[in-house]
């Protein structure tokens, strides 16, 4: 497996375009289009929020019923959630426009939206945006990067990742892009993530690979504990790499899963690190757990704790908040056995042994916590299982961004 540059256009067959459609922002690209030369197999995971945005409902139908797709239309600025029948009408009209211009069947057009809830999307701008993007479609890395930028809302950086992997002598590529950066506490999937691959793989295994991997990647990040109405993760496979089609869980499937995991984890970490207002990526590894579920529950609880997040912002080794957040997580453990370490580019320090503080150097701890990526390692000493969760610190800017996001 080799990491390469690129995003959604890295894999064979995929093109992208983007434009400033003026849906909400001025002077900022806010629409993206992904198109594949051939119909793709498609897998998707979606928010478990009871309140599902119109494009989520639309895409669930495409993924579950059509089971193939050839185009994805994305807009930033308005989420098309809580928009009733008019909102579903927007999805319908978007698909119709793609059909008219790109000759893709309507039920093979995916739609995704992100932004403020409850406002209607102006359809004329979507239509004009599609008309502008269709002739500009291109398979260059630049067009993929443009799309990754166009789907940003409060994100500060575009988020892309791509790898190649050799399957019996054939090079298969997987590339993706995603956006955060608030209302991020995915439950089933993250805000918006689009991954493309040229692998030839059966629809069943494509869906299984995505479903399993989402549990260890997007579902392990939290920015603010709010599970969005729009969380969507789509995986399109063009089959153009020329590999022998993966139809069983053989070695090729394992290699494909590893490569997919690399891309998903990279994207998930980028989302966590670019959480609204964040100054640091906060990683929590729970090791020595009895089982993976326990490790996941505990690590997620810590990255989701406001008090812990505020302490990370303050570079304060306030380990009591970490034990506290583990304590209310809902998974039993023995507090009197816990060891706790902080780790970053500035070094590693042991803070707690058997549930009680060591006489550690506060100065060294602060130095370690002042880095851009900080890891807390919790050893439960109960078994061999482990899990990692990702989040970010809680800052003034998080409050600022969200106190006046809508207006």
Listed in sequence order, the residues at least 6 apart from 320 whose beta carbon sits closer than 8 Å to its beta carbon are none
Torsion region of 36: left, alpha or beta (phi above 0 gives left; psi -120 to 50 gives alpha): beta
* 162/352 with CB nearer a second copy: 352
State the catalytic residue, choosing from 9, 154, 190, 232: 190
| Cα atoms found within 13 Å of the Cα of residue 35, Cβ hemisphere only | 25
* 118/347 with CB nearer a second copy: 118
Residue position matching structure tokens 């989520």: 56
* 226/248 with CB nearer a second copy: 226
Element (H, E) at 302: helix 292-304
| 326 near a second copy, judged by CB under 8 A | yes
- Token digits of residue 58: 């639309």
Cα 129 from Cα 32, distance rounded (Å): 9
| 291 near a second copy, judged by CB under 8 A | no
Interface map 138-177 toward a second copy (x if CB under 8 A): ----------------------------------------
Q: Which of 197, 195, 193 is nearest to 173 (CA)?
A: 197
**Options 149-157, 165-173, 331-339, 377-385: segment touching a second copy (CB under 8 A):** 331-339
Element (H, E) at 162: strand 159-167
| 395 near a second copy, judged by CB under 8 A | yes
Q: Which of 229, 232, 238, 294 binds a second copy (CB under 8 A)?
A: 229
| 117 near a second copy, judged by CB under 8 A | yes
Cα 35 from Cα 15, distance rounded (Å): 5
Listed in sequence order, the residues at least 6 apart from 390 whose beta carbon sits closer than 8 Å to its beta carbon are 220, 221, 222, 268, 269, 272, 273, 281, 282, 283, 284, 303
Interface map 71-110 toward a second copy (x if CB under 8 A): --------x-xxxx--------------------------
| 398 near a second copy, judged by CB under 8 A | yes
Q: Which of 22, 105, 122, 335 binds a second copy (CB under 8 A)?
A: 335
| 313 near a second copy, judged by CB under 8 A | yes
Cα 261 from Cα 165, distance rounded (Å): 12
Q: Which of 265, 238, 77 is nearest to 159 (CA)?
A: 265
* 131/316 with CB nearer a second copy: 316
Q: Which of 144, 175, 182, 391 binds a second copy (CB under 8 A)?
A: 182
| 345 near a second copy, judged by CB under 8 A | no
| 356 near a second copy, judged by CB under 8 A | yes
**Options 89-97, 114-122, 128-136, 150-158: segment touching a second copy (CB under 8 A):** 114-122
Q: Which of 362, 169, 165 is nearest to 263 (CA)?
A: 165
**Residue 123: how many CB atoms within 10 A of its CB?**
14
Q: How many residues bind a second copy (CB under 8 A)?
A: 67
CB of 92 to a second copy, least distance (A): 18
| 381 near a second copy, judged by CB under 8 A | no
Packed helices 306-313 and 292-304: angle between N→C axes, nearest 10 degrees:
60
CB of 394 to a second copy, least distance (A): 6
**Options 33-41, 251-259, 327-335, 370-378: segment touching a second copy (CB under 8 A):** 327-335
Active-site residue flag, 190:
yes
Distance from the Cα of residue 370 to its chain's centroid: 25
Residue position matching structure tokens 């790898």: 163
Q: Are 392 and 271 in contact (CB under 8 A)?
A: no
Residues of this chain that interact with a second copy (CB under 8 A) are 48-52, 79, 81-84, 116-119, 182-183, 185, 187, 224-229, 304-307, 310-311, 313-314, 316, 318-321, 323-329, 332-333, 335-336, 352, 354-357, 362, 394-396, 398-407
Q: Catalytic residues, which ones?
A: 190
């Amino acid at each position: 497996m080799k990491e390469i540059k690129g995003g959604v256009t890295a894999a064979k067959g995929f093109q992208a375009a983007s434009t400033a459609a003026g849906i909400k922002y001025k002077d900022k690209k806010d629409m993206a289009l992904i198109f594949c030369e051939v119909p793709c197999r498609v897998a998707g995971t979606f928010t478990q929020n009871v309140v599902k945005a119109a494009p989520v409902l639309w895409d669930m139908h495409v993924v579950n019923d059509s089971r193939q797709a050839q185009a994805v239309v994305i807009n930033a600025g308005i989420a098309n959630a809580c928009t009733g029948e008019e909102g579903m009408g927007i999805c319908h009209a978007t698909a119709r426009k793609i059909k008219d211009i790109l000759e893709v069947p309507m039920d093979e057009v995916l739609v995704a939206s992100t932004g403020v809830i409850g406002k209607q999307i102006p359809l004329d701008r979507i239509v004009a945006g599609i008309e502008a993007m269709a002739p500009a479609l291109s398979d260059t890395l630049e067009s993929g990067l443009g799309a990754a930028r166009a789907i940003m809302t409060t994100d500060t950086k575009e988020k892309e990742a791509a790898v190649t992997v050799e399957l019996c002598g054939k090079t298969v590529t997987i590339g993706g892009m995603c956006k955060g950066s608030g209302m991020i506490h995915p439950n089933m999937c993250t805000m918006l993530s689009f991954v493309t691959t040229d692998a030839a793989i059966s629809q069943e295994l494509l869906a299984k690979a995505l479903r399993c991997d989402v549990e260890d990647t997007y579902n392990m990040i939290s920015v603010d504990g709010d599970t969005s109405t729009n969380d969507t993760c789509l995986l399109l496979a063009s089959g153009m790499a020329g590999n022998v089609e993966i139809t069983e869980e053989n070695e090729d499937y394992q290699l494909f899963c590893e490569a997919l995991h690399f891309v998903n984890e990279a994207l998930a970490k980028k989302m966590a690190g670019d959480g609204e207002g964040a100054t640091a990526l906060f990683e929590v590894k729970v090791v020595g757990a009895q089982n993976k579920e326990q490790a996941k529950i505990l690590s997620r609880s810590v990255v989701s704790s406001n008090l812990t997040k505020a302490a990370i912002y303050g570079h304060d080794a306030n380990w009591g908040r970490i034990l506290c957040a583990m304590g209310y997580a809902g998974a039993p453990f023995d507090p009197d056995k816990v060891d706790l370490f902080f780790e970053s580019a500035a070094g590693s320090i042991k803070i707690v042994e058997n549930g009680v503080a060591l006489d550690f150097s506060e100065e060294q701890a602060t130095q370690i916590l002042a880095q851009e990526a900080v890891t807390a390692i919790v050893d439960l000493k109960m078994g061999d299982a482990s899990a990692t969760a990702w989040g970010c610190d809680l800052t003034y800017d998080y409050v600022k961004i969200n106190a006046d996001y809508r207006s």
